[in-house]
Structure 1
Amino acid sequence: MKGLETTWDARLIWHDGLEVVRDLFSNPIFADHMTYDPHKVVCGAEQEYSEFFTGTCAFEIQAQLPIRSTIVPIILALDKTPVTRQTGGLEMHPVFLTIGNIPSDIRMQATSHAWRSVAFIPSVKFNIHPDFRMLLLSRVFHWCLDVVTASLKDAAEHGIALVDPSRYIRNSYTPLVSYIADLPKQQLIACVARNASPVTIAEMPWFGDPTPAAPRMREHTLSLIKKLCDSCDPWDLVAFQKAAKALKLLGVHLPFWRDWMFCDPLLFLTGEVLHAGHKFFFNHILNWSCTNVFHFATLDLECLGHSK
């Protein structure tokens, strides 16, 4: 951000993403639990989808890789946390990483230490008009992830030799298959404005429409960003932000996922349980059901009829 002053010096604290993956992939603690190949789980006449390797995406990626290659699915998670309390107001975005070769029931155990912190992205305070701060913060976020994931992106395209827990060397590829975040962070990652969906082309007036909107493909977003960059200089903040808002974009001209093979925000953006599951159900689905289908009193009677 040359030429732009900040309240204090911003520091990115990080580990190389590939080195963290190398350590997780070779950890002997997970030797009896690792999965390396896509497979189908069939229960009666139905196919079960659970882990990444049971999904269609795993088969599609595997089909594009050289024979005997191994997918090492990258899973990221993000949240904002205060670094100082009471005074200072310093905040950072911790970024966590794990791999999909470790089953979810194992990696979600706190004692397994399968999630690793790979970066603390600074929340920079720019000495600039407030209208441009969000745009610049978004660019800092994507630049930092570019630094952290550079080696992972290279491995996803060209492959890398990794040693598994059984000490076999595998030709491995590292696609990003999941980024767990709440809605505002998903919009930040997808580079879209707050009044647009990160996974469809729906905009604010369309929200609530019963007809599903077309998916927001990676190529669609990148083509809009290219069109935007061709029309004006990304560092002419006034003109660039105005043009970005017209296209429902955030103003990020270099998304970190732009050159990551097999990587599409439509596919890898994953809602976290608190907002996408718990709050979504109780704040929206339940209220809608009690308003349009049955009343709260009826629901209470039904619940009372069940044993505790």
Structure 2
Amino acid sequence: MTGFRSALQALNVNVEHTRAKDDDPTVCPACHKRLRTTQGLATHLSTAKSCRWYKKGKLRALTLPGEFAVDEDVLMRDINEPLPDGLEGQMEEEPGLSYHNIRGLHKIVDSVPLRACWKTRELWFKNDPEHTHIIYHRNPIDTVKTLLGNPAHANNIVYRPKRVFMNASRDSRIYNEMWTGDWWNTVQDRLPAGSCVAPVIIATDKTQLTQFAGDKTAYPVYLTLGNLPRAIRRKPSQHACILVAYLSVSKMVGDELSKKQKSTRIQQLFHDSMRIVLEPLIEAGKSGVEVTGGDGKVHMVHPILACYVADYPEQCLVTCAKYGTCPKCEVDDSQMGDGDPGPWRTQRKTSKIIEAARANSTSISNFQERCKQDNVSGGVRRPFWEVFPHCDIHMTITPDVLHQLYQGVVKHLIHWCSSVMTDAELDARIRSLPPCFGM
């Protein structure tokens, strides 16, 4: 027996670790060591470093690269032996990565071009230089290049306008995307041959962040393009809407300032800030810029301010319309409920009203009075949009669902219905309505 044990030791085989039957509950499934009891086996799997991996569920089947699964006995005996020559070369071969360590990986990540670099600008009023208003912004041309150069959207970007009809007789148009409208066709005819339009869509909304730490607010400005389908623009996961600026939310301080003067300063600050943010679009809209698309093709693009998305108070602020009037037509505030539509407001006419009031007024209050006679706010002397090419700020305003549809239509309908009948009759009529999905 001693000689047999010595022979096994010479073969580098441990007698205690020989393979036992699989159904033996006292044999370690990792090292095949036989224990006295099942409790001892559980303790062994928890304490033995060489067998702890089995209890954690790791490496239940060890296989070599490029080989089929070998028998467990052979694997346990030959695991410490050197690999064959063919396999050893495969294991030493480099995986083909472009970096060798973490520092190299970080350099590659840092070399990825940014969407646009952020800049900071301070504004202040001449008679109050101590209180500054800070805006954070980046070049909108860089964001336009980023959106058009995104390879994920290369097959969905549209550079030419289209006219879509219901049937072959072409007696009924379909308007579902921006490139199916008449505006794009009109602007396209004004551009040089070989150029294309990049309709710029701007959205602003002063947002309440928190009321727990000093009533924090933010004033973001977002930019997207009409070349992208609306299904892509509306999905945050597509990253088709880029943040281009944060406007100042600092309050107008000064005990000597009246409420009207503070409102005037807020309007002036907004237009001066938007002029700084969107100023690169002026020259680019006139001369065009070369943009490399996601498919690698180079296009001569003219970014034109096409839409401005905002709620009703900001629509009046952007268009310099008198609050309470329509920012798109010339209907007076006393005629808002009439059925007859008024003439359209135009950017040229609004600019002429402001210029005439500025030239003939003797004071700020006189300037505001002259402007309000023509339903212009009178808080801004030089709007940011007055020199934008191929742009009419009143045409860029889109309908606001909250303030114009719900509060402007539905709320009035409820008020009118309540005035022509009693509450009990109105409730009875609502209860008699047939059930409807979503109601």
TM normalised by structure 1 equals 0.90
Distance 2:418 2:173 in 1: 33
Per-residue deviation at 1:286? 5.6
- Residue 226 (structure 2) pairs with residue 100 (structure 1): yes
Q: Any gaps of 5 or more consecutive residues in structure 2?
A: 1-123
Equivalent residue for 1:231?
Answer: 360
Distance 2:321 2:142 in 1: 31
Instruction: Tell me the secondary structure at the aligned position of residue 433 of structure 2.
Output: helix
Amino acid aligned to 1:237: I
Equivalent residue for 1:114?
Answer: 240
- Identify the match of residue 246 of structure 1 among 369, 373, 376: 373
Distance 2:328 2:126 in 1: 34
CA 61–289 in structure 1, closer or farther in 2 if over 3 Å, else same: farther
Instruction: Tell me the secondary structure at the aligned position of residue 220 of structure 2.
Output: strand
Distance 1:237 1:100 in 2: 39
Distance 1:170 1:72 in 2: 11
Amino acid aligned to 1:239: N
- Identify the match of residue 144 of structure 1 among 263, 268, 273: 273
- Residue 165 (structure 2) pairs with residue 42 (structure 1): yes
Equivalent residue for 1:283?
Answer: 411
Amino acid aligned to 1:73: P
Distance 1:29 1:280 in 2: 40
- Identify the match of residue 79 of structure 1 among 175, 184, 205: 205
Per-residue deviation at 1:307? 6.5
Deviation per residue, 1:216-236 (Å, 9 max, x gap): 111110110110111136xx4
Equivalent residue for 2:291?
Answer: 162
Instruction: Tell me the secondary structure at the aligned position of residue 432 of structure 2.
Output: helix
Per-residue deviation at 1:4? 3.2
Distance 1:289 1:101 in 2: 43
Deviation per residue, 1:124-158 (Å, 9 max, x gap): 32322222111111111111111111111211111
Distance 1:173 1:75 in 2: 13
CA 229–55 in structure 1, closer or farther in 2 if over 3 Å, else same: same
Amino acid aligned to 1:275: H
Range with bigger deviation, 149-158 or 122-131: 122-131
The answer to whether the Cα contact below 8 Å between 1:8 and 1:125 also exists between their aligned partners in 2 is no
Instruction: Tell me the secondary structure at the aligned position of residue 222 of structure 1.
Output: helix
CA 81–284 in structure 1, closer or farther in 2 if over 3 Å, else same: same
Percent of aligned positions that are identical: 25
Amino acid aligned to 2:214: G
CA 4–87 in structure 1, closer or farther in 2 if over 3 Å, else same: farther
Query: How do 1:256-275 and structure 2 match up within 5 A?
Result: 256-275=384-403
Distance 2:407 2:244 in 1: 28
Instruction: Tell me the secondary structure at the aligned position of residue 11 of structure 1.
Output: strand
CA 156–20 in structure 1, closer or farther in 2 if over 3 Å, else same: same
- Residue 383 (structure 2) pairs with residue 255 (structure 1): yes
Q: Any gaps of 5 or more consecutive residues in structure 1?
A: none
Equivalenced residue count is 305
CA 226–37 in structure 1, closer or farther in 2 if over 3 Å, else same: same
The answer to whether the Cα contact below 8 Å between 1:74 and 1:174 also exists between their aligned partners in 2 is yes
Amino acid aligned to 1:252: V
Equivalent residue for 1:18?
Answer: 141
Range with bigger deviation, 93-102 or 127-136: 127-136
Distance 1:198 1:5 in 2: 32
Instruction: Tell me the secondary structure at the aligned position of residue 247 of structure 2.
Output: strand
- Residue 337 (structure 2) pairs with residue 208 (structure 1): yes
Per-residue deviation at 1:273? 3.2
